[in-house]
Structure 1
């Protein structure tokens, strides 16, 4: 292998060794990416190069303007490059690997063992599928002949019977038309009294004597013991079927199946504590958890909208740029954020939108606000998933109880996730804890809006 091929091979290897996704999320620069383009740094490997031996300095032909100097790399391909003084054309983006949110979602699934299947909510179109539905009316050209025949034949078989067997009932001693009709019905034979009356009026014994003058059987039991009733299906197999009497009620007309196309759409409301206790380190941990989840859900859903709420003792909506950096000097009342979340989600009906509410903070909250106001609000707001991320570096504060109280209140409820992040290395575990919580099927919800349980049983791989 020549130097040129070897150099190309090393460059190819270097460019494919981008930074590990989990490492990038936990420690990388997330600010270089945006909602539609995620830039992952590449781990560049050193390329081989020859250098002039510094020990060979001096001597004839050494030095001078334009001449190679000791330690200077040797160009393996002289003349293959920019002319002296010309600017280079190679860009600087080769140090990053770029992916769109769809690729990011696939790779995060693989890296963390996630398997979120988005659900279609909002109907965006109705299209006609195959002619698989039927109705009692329709154009004559759409008559389902097979169904028409099957219904007629089924009705015919249900009303047909062994006529010779019923006629034998007329030869029972002392039996009249009513007696024969009652006996036939007890046998499950679908014969009418009028048919038996007609048969009695016309039946003869073969010698011109009316049936009424004959006593061939002592009783119906004696008749049943001597004469077997032939099933209709056996007679049809033997004699065939000349015709099937169809009725208008047997008609069925084919219609195309109406298929609803549903858009897999989602709204994510991100909530962050902006009170004075949320210092830079805590805010950075919030960003490292929320930003990859935004990218992930953007890649998973056909349409994704994001709203951002910050709060201290009051709550207000901000844009994404302000969300991670803003800080106030006020106290903390988390319920104020959920009051605003409830208002925002009125714009996104749960029957038409997948809804996620992700909140984060250092678990510090005023008095009994969590138990008296936040938890009831979480119960009443319908969402695919509620999540709270505690960002509390070190051992945390003594009054940081919010995450514990939420976790205790919703224990066993798979519509709520609680994660704790004390350092960057905890970030991917928190993301997994949140995104793996939602069940494959939302399932029925209780009157207070809480999901009744998950069905995926997903276990981290």
Structure 2
């Protein structure tokens, strides 16, 4: 039982110790994976087993009658690996750890210190949420009684005044309507002149005496000393809320909040130089950078579409299989690719799609094409991120100027990244440089600790 349990434990350890993610990206076989399933080799561990002790020593329990004696060679047994047969007839069985793009993206975030937070753009659904919005019209059953009451009360408190107190102003000696109106305004009483005119007319009718003859108070100061104006809230508290004149304009009706559900979608345009100078080593570096980024963005977004463009002096669209292998013998004019990028992106409005444009090559370009055409086109094409990856094994070539020109012109833009890859060891740094630019973090040239 102990051997069986230990053997199972050793096998579980072996399955957990898959190849380091960064090592896999830089040196592993990317071709064994598909767009929806990434296969990472499991590191093998030696399982415990019994071996024959060949020490030349006697002792109790030595075999007799045909059994091997100490120091004698042991004949090979069936299954020991020495059977007849041609070497290499059958392939060995290898084990892989499989992950989907979502898991790959999460692990790459952790391994490289990325934190890309995709934004939803295209509205896929509108749903009704809680009844938190209000409007002036609606079914009677949705009348917001609390809001109706608060609005009516607030308006009433702002416009109400103590009418009896204002009428007393008409009893000030020698005071006319204008005098009372001016006095009321200095007291911040929200009364209109027309109201005072009507009040004066009522008093004259009631008392059969002109208001100018009424002299109950010698001055407004005396009136203020002898009488106190009753505040509106005190009057409402005494008379009850039924005295508050609610109006139709105070009505508010509850409506459900409209919630837009947006799909996190992205279109990625991958561009590669396919001219004669892009030999196999350079093409492999492009694949090592672009393939993990495709997996990563597939895992980050709800919907991801990928388009592939290759170019020499002209540009044309290809499928994924052709993209990494195709090679031409022509020259190089990078602007031809960006013209095709702009045409393709017309199918993906920037208001509805997240857009990435990733280009790669050996930085060689014809004449002044970079300054005259490519850089203005990169500035005019709206995208979350423009990236250029220079692949120059062993260092930059004498005619490799494109990356430097782009960096000088657009290096300060927050949606432009330039990365250089001289060998597999630079791949993860290039991926970090590109993706950390999009997520708003500042790329750093300092070494990063990559977790195994």
Shift of 1:458: 7.5
More deviation, 177-186/141-150: 177-186
Distance 1:373 1:224 in 2: 83
Residue of structure 2 equivalent to 1:283:
283
Shift of 1:212: 3.8
Shift of 1:397: 1.2
Distance 1:94 1:302 in 2: 32
Residue of structure 1 equivalent to 2:264:
264
Deviations for 1:53-104, whole angstroms, at most 9, x for unmatched residues?
34589732538xxxx95676999xxxxxxxxxxxxxxx98761000000000
Residue of structure 2 equivalent to 1:83:
none
The gaps in structure 2 that reach 5 residues or longer are 57-61, 81-90
Counterparts of 1:148-167 in structure 2, within 5 Å, are 148-167=148-167
Distance 2:379 2:351 in 1: 17
Distance 1:61 1:224 in 2: 133
1:145/1:71 CA distance change after superposition, 3 Å: farther
Q: Secondary structure at the match of 2:325?
A: coil
Residue of structure 2 equivalent to 1:343:
343
More deviation, 376-385/186-195: 186-195
Counterparts of 1:342-381 in structure 2, within 5 Å, are 342-381=342-381
Q: Secondary structure at the match of 1:118?
A: coil
Distance 2:231 2:76 in 1: 106
Pairing 1:59–2:29 present: no
Distance 2:328 2:443 in 1: 39
Shift of 1:31: 0.3
Residue of structure 1 equivalent to 2:188:
188
Residue of structure 2 equivalent to 1:382:
382
More deviation, 105-114/180-189: 180-189
1:186/1:70 CA distance change after superposition, 3 Å: farther
Q: How many positions carry a matched residue from both structures?
A: 426
Q: Secondary structure at the match of 2:173?
A: coil
Shift of 1:165: 2.6
Deviations for 1:10-48, whole angstroms, at most 9, x for unmatched residues?
111111000110010001000000000000111111000
Distance 2:140 2:25 in 1: 64
1:217/1:243 CA distance change after superposition, 3 Å: closer
RMSD between superposed Cα atoms in Å? 2.8
Per the normalisation by structure 2, the TM-score is 0.87
Shift of 1:182: 3.1
Deviations for 1:387-411, whole angstroms, at most 9, x for unmatched residues?
0001111132122110010011112
1:231/1:94 CA distance change after superposition, 3 Å: farther
Residue of structure 2 equivalent to 1:411:
411
The gaps in structure 1 that reach 5 residues or longer are 76-90, 440-453
Pairing 1:95–2:95 present: yes
Distance 2:233 2:94 in 1: 80
Shift of 1:351: 0.8
Residue of structure 1 equivalent to 2:45:
45
Distance 1:196 1:42 in 2: 95
Shift of 1:158: 1.3
Shift of 1:198: 3.6
Shift of 1:193: 2.9
More deviation, 312-321/166-175: 166-175
- Are the equivalent residues in 1 in contact too, given 2:41–2:94 (CA < 8 A)? no
- Are the equivalent residues in 2 in contact too, given 1:170–1:177 (CA < 8 A)? yes
Shift of 1:232: 2.1
Residue of structure 1 equivalent to 2:2:
2
Residue of structure 2 equivalent to 1:80:
none
More deviation, 49-58/329-338: 49-58
Per the normalisation by structure 1, the TM-score is 0.86
Deviations for 1:362-415, whole angstroms, at most 9, x for unmatched residues?
111111100000000001100000000011111321221100100111122111
1:72/1:146 CA distance change after superposition, 3 Å: farther
